[in-house]
Structure 1
Amino acid sequence: MRFEAQAIVCALRNHGEHGAIVWLITAEHGLQAAYVRGARGRRMRPVLIAGNSVHAGFAARNDTQLPQATIELIHSRAPLLSEPLPAAAIEWATALTATALPEGQPYPRLFWALEGLLDAIEAAPSAGGWGAALVRYELLLLAELGFGLDLDNCAVTGSNDDLVAVSPKSGRAVSAAEAEPYACKLLPLPRFVREGGPASWEEIAQGLDLTGHFLLRDLLTDRAQPVADARGRLVDRLRRAGGLA
């Protein structure tokens, strides 16, 4: 097995004295784990940072062997690690990707969505500029893995008008009239999730509450508790940044 691909570094685990096993997502080959020689050396450490875009060459004798990878940096997002909120967002998005996706199955939409999210985190002057993109990435990941939400029509009436909430059990949207008696039991559906466009801090927080409920219920099991904790830290920081804490 041998191939080359553009990739995003998602996670790293030290292996042996100098190497590491690195998880990278590619567009055509999905999530790939590979051994990288010298990963903990001075030259490779700044390359193998979660969120970096790289060119990776994978090689293995057969499909059952852990491949070895050679990595070349395309674009570094390491400067963002000095900023607490962008650093927490990159940590969460890459850790979620490495934890949730099965290895070796292509998810090109997720690859390019993650690349877009990381670019937005890098370019926006504040989290208000990329918070909505993070919510959309989480919604896409749920959908790609078979846990997508049905936000097109009201679960009760079938109408697509004035949808304001989501059932935490079914993941289906609910219209304002039908939601009113059960408001305390439903999850708010912020307008930007269905209509696109910018989002306020409150809407971003509502969107993260929405996606977080289904991520924790359907994807992040007990073994993924450290990843869930990373998300909790990110959401707390976002709420404080938006004055919602």
Structure 2
Amino acid sequence: MHLRSEAIVLAIRAHGEHGAIVRALTESDGLQPGYVRGGRSRALRPILQPANLILGDWRARTEDQLPGLTVELIHSRAPLFREPLPAAALDWATALTAAALPDGQPYPRLHSALDGVLSAVEAAPAARGWAVALVRYELLLLADLGFGLDLERCAATGATSDLAFVSPRSGSAVSVGGAYGYEDRLFPLPGFLTQGGAAEWDDILAGLRITGHFLERDVLIGRDAEVLAARSRLVDRLKRAVA
């Protein structure tokens, strides 16, 4: 097995005294794990940071063996970890992707979208410029894993207009008329999820509530609690930032 590719670093786990197991997302070959000799060294720690773009070289004698991985830095996003809010966004986006995707299966749309989210955080660390992109990335990940939301028509009436809610059970939109009497059991549907464009903070937080519910229920079942903790930190910091 030999693979040489650009990749986004998603997760790093210490292995042995000096090494690290790194999981990185490639465009054509999906999520690829590899063992980096000396991965915890002073020279490699700045390279092996979540959200960094690397050139990776994976080599293994058999398909079942964990490949050895050597890395070269292409682009570093490490300076963003000095600021709490951008750091929380990078932590969550990379941890979610590492936890949700199976190894070795290509998800080119997710690779492109994740790179777009990380670049948006880098370009606009104040959050207004990237929060909408993050919600859309979560929706895309749900869809590509087979848990997509149906926000085009009302689950109760079939109507395609006046869509104002989302059912927490089915993930389908519900119109004003279809929701009558059950509004308090449904998620408010923010307009930017169906109409595109920018969004106010209340709508962004509403979007995060929707995606968070379905990610936890359908994708992150039984996953490391630290993954969900990363999302809680991000949402808490967003709420404080806009309060």
Query: What TM-score, normalized to structure 2?
Result: 0.98
Name the counterpart of 2:239: 239
Describe the SS at the equivalent of 1:48: coil
**Mean Cα displacement is larger for which, 70-79 or 176-185?**
176-185
How many Å separate the matches in 1 of 2:116 and 2:16? Answer: 34
Query: Structure 1: which 5+ runs fail to align?
Result: none
User: Structure 1 residue 177: deviation in Å?
Assistant: 2.0
Residue aligning to 1:222: 222
Distance in 2, matches of 1:134 and 1:64, equals 34
Render the CA deviation track for 1:113-163: whole Å, top value 9, x for unaligned.
Answer: 000000000111511111111100000001111110011111112121121
Whether 2:53 is the aligned partner of 1:53: answer: yes
Matched AA of 1:138: E
Residue 200 of structure 1 corresponds to which residue in structure 2?
A: 200
Residue 42 (1) aligns with residue 20 (2)? no
State the partner residue of 1:173.
Answer: 173
**CA distances 1:67-123 after superposition (whole Å, capped 9, x unpaired):** 011111111001100110000010001000011111111101001100000000011
Equivalent residue letter for 2:49: I
**1:106 aligned residue:** 106
Matching residue's letter, 2:130 = W
Q: State the alpha-carbon separation in 2 of the partners of residues 192 and 26 from structure 1.
A: 29
The structure in which a higher percent of residues are helix is 1
Aligned residue number for residue 32 of structure 1: 32
TM-score by length of 1: 0.97
- CA deviation string 1:177-201 (max 9, x = no partner): 2224211100111111111111111
Q: Tell whether 2:223 aligns with 1:211.
A: no
Please show how residues 60-209 of structure 1 align to structure 2 within 5 Å. 60-209=60-209
Q: Equivalent residue of 1:85, what SS?
A: helix
SS in 1 for 2:177: helix
Q: Residues of 1 paired with 2:189 and 2:74: CA distance?
A: 37
Helix, strand or coil for the counterpart of 2:55? strand
- Superposition RMSD in Å: 0.9
Deviations 1:4-30 (A, max 9, x none): 111000000111121100000111111
Could you give the per-residue CA deviations for residues 10-60 of structure 1, whole angstroms, max 9, x where no partner exists? 000111121100000111111111001111112110000001011111111
SS in 1 for 2:56: strand
Counterparts of 1:161 and 1:232 in 2: how far apart (Å)?
33
SS at match of 1:179: coil
- Partners of 1:125 and 1:38 in 2: CA distance: 32
For structure 2, which runs of at least 5 residues remain unmatched after alignment? Answer: none
Query: Separation in 1 of the partners of 2:223 and 2:94?
Result: 17
Percent of paired sites with the same residue: 60
User: Aligned equivalents of 2:215 and 2:158: distance in 1?
Assistant: 25
Counterpart residue identity of residue 134, structure 1: L
Paired amino acid for 1:83? E
More off after superposition, 219-228 vs 163-172? 219-228
